[in-house]
Structure 1
Amino acid sequence: MKLISVLLTPNTRNPLYLIVTSSKLPGYKISNLCCYSTFKHKRSIKECYTVLNVPEGCSAEEVRDSYKTLAKKYHPDSGASTASAARFMQIDEAYRDLLTNLAKESKKAQAMEDDEEKMSEYKIPQHRQYLNYEGVGFGTPSQRQRQYMQFRVDRATDQVLDFRKQKLEQQYAENSMVAKDVKHSKKVKITQAIERLVEDLIQESMAKGDFDNLSGKGKPLDKFSACPHIDPMTHNLNRILIDNGYQPEWIVLQKEIRETIDKLRQDLVASRKKLGDPMAYKQEKQWMEIREKFTVDISKLNKRINDFNLVVPLMSRQMVHFRVEKEIWRAEQAFLVLKEEMNAVNNTEADEKMDNVQVNPTEVFLNLIKYLKKFRKPNKQNKE
C-alpha cells in the first residue's frame, strides 16, 4: 500500500488526502483509490438542534443533558448495539457548535442590557433644582417655589384638623369611661344593699327560730355524692345542668346515631318481609331500590359519625362506620329467622286444630255404612 498526500485546496487547514492501495507495487497497478478530506461541513443551527433532538431556544443545560444521553447511546466505547463512530462525530460537532452559538447569544444579550442601563442613566435628571422643594411642583424655580409654599400651607391645615379630631375623640372616650364608672358604681351599691337586706332577713329568721325545724339540720351537705375527685363548684354546676335537662353534644349525637341505625334496620327488615320469599322480578326491582336508598342513608349516618368522633372526649368512645353490605346481610338473616318462626307458629296452630277436633266413633260407623250402601244398590239392579 502506498500513501500519497496531495494538497489540492489553498486552505492548509483542510488538506485533501489520496490513499492509493495496490496489492502489487512493482507494476504500479492501482487496484483501489480512496479519497477523503478533513474539511468539516458546517451545519446550520437548526440542524444542530435536530441532531441533538432538542427544541430551538432551549437552555445550555438541556443541550448538555441531550448530549450525554446520545453519547451513551452512540459512543463507540459504550458497548451498546447502537454504537456508531460516524453518528457520534455528528453529535459531538453539533454539540460544540450549539454551545458556541448559545455563548455568543448570551454575550450579545448581556451587552444589550448593559447598553440599556447606560442609556437609562442619562435619562435621570441630575440638576440640583429638581432636588429642592421635596420634589413638589413643576416649571421654573420661582413657580416651583410658590407651589411648594402652597403645599406646606395645605399640609399644616391638615395636621391641625387631625389634631383637633384626635382631641375630640379623646374627650369623648373619657366622658364615656366616666359614664361607665358611674353606672358600675350604682350597680355595686344596689348589689351591696340587696346583700345587706338578705343578710338582715336571715339573721332575723334565725333569731325567731324559723330554721330549727329543717330536715337537714346538723347534717353535712351532700356535695360530693357523685364524684369526690372534682371541686364543689364544678359538681354543683354539672348538677344544675343535669337537673335542667342539659346534655353534652357528643352524648346527643351518640343517641341520635343509635336511634337512626335502629330505625334503618327495622325499616329494612320490614321492607324485606313485605316482598316475601321467593321474590319475582318486580319484587327484586323494588328490593334493589330499597337497597340504594338504604345506602344513601348509611352514607349520611357515617358523616354524622365523623362529627361525633371529632367532639367525643375519649378515644375509646369513638364509633366506626357502618358497612352497607353487612347491614343488608343482617337484614336478610333476620328475615330468614322471622320466616322460620312464622312457619313454626303455623305448624303449631295446625297441630292444635287437629288436636281440638273430637272424633265420635258412632258417627264414623254410620258414615261407613252409608258409603257401603251406595255400592250395593247397583248390584241389586244387575241381578234383577
Structure 2
Amino acid sequence: MLTNTTGHHLTAHQAMIPRILKPFSYMCGNRMLSGYKPKSNVKASYKILELEEGCSLDDIRNSYRNLAKKYHPDSGSSTADSEAFIKVEDAYRVVLSDMANKKKSNENKEEEEEDQFKTKAPQHRHYLSFEGVGFGTPSQREKQYMQFRVDRATEQVLEYRKQKLESQYVATDLMRAKDVRESKKVKITQAVERLVEDLIQESMAKGDFDNLSGKGKPLQKFSDCPHIDPMTHNLNRILIDNGYQPEWILMQKEIRETIERLRKSIVASRSKLGEPMTPYRQKQWNRICEQFMEDIRKLNKRIDSFNLVVPILSRQMVHFSADKEIVRAQKTYKALMENKEAPDSDTKGEEQENVKRFGWKSSLFKVLSV
C-alpha cells in the first residue's frame, strides 16, 4: 500500500498510473476537485491573477508563478490554500485562452484585410498608372498617355519662349527709358554749359573782367598733387583772390555780428535804467528782455539755416539761450558799475591825503581855483 500527498491509501496499480491519466488528481477533504468547472469570466480571471487586461504574456506567467508559490498545497508556506490555488490555475488557463483567441482573431483580421486589398487592387489599377489619363485597354491608355505628354511638353516650350520674349521686351523698354534719361541729362548739361559760356562772353564784352588782378598773365602753378583737380584749384584761387566768399562764411559772420550787437544793446539798456530798480523801471526791463528773447529766437532760426549749408560738421553752431544771455548782461552791468566806483574811491582818498599833507594851503588853493 502507498500513500499519496493527501493521506489516502493507493494500491500499487494505481500508483503506477501516470499522473495525467489519473481520474482524480486532487482531493480536498471529502470533496472531489476533478469535476471543477473553471469560470469563463475573463475580467474575474485577470482580477484573480492581480493583473489588468492588456498586459503581456510575461506578466501573466510571472503573476501565476508567484501566486502558485503562495497558495500551492505542497509549498509548505503558511498561506497555502488548495482552493485558492485551483482558482489561480483556472484563471491562468482562462487568461491564456483569451490571449490565444485574441491573437488568432487579429491574425484572421489581418488576413481578411490583405485578401480584401488583393481583391480590390485590380479594380483601381487604372488610377495608379498613366496619371489617370485615357480610357480603354492598357495599351490604348498608354498611347493616349504618350500623346498627353507630348502635348504637355509642347505647351511648356511655348510658355518658356513667351516668358523669354516678354523679359527681352521689358529689358528693351528699360534700356530705352534709361537712354531717354541719359539723353535728357546730356541736353541739360550742354544747355547749362552754353548758358555759362554766353554769360562769360557777355561779361567779357562789358569789361567786367578788366579789373581782375593778373589779367593777361599765365596762371600760377601749384603743387603737383595727383589728388587735386588743377582746374578746380585754379578756379577757387581766382575767386578767393577777387574777394569771393562762400555763403556759409557770410552767414557765420552775420550771426556773430548780430549776437555781439544784441549783447551790447541789452547791456546799454540795463545801464540806462540804472539803480535802484523801481517798479516802473522793472516793467521797462521786462519789456526789453521780451524783445531780446524774440531777437534771439530769430537768430536761432538763422543758425539752423547756417547749419544746413555749412560743409564742415565741426563748423556748425549751437543755439543761443536768451536766459543765459540776460544773466550775462546783468553780470556785465555789475562789473561796469564796480569799475566806475573804483576810480571815484581812489580820487577821494587822494584828496584826503592832500589835506593831511598841506593842510590850509590846499583848502586855500581850492577856494582860489573856484
TM-score relative to the length of structure 2: 0.36
Larger radius of gyration: 2
TM-score relative to the length of structure 1: 0.35
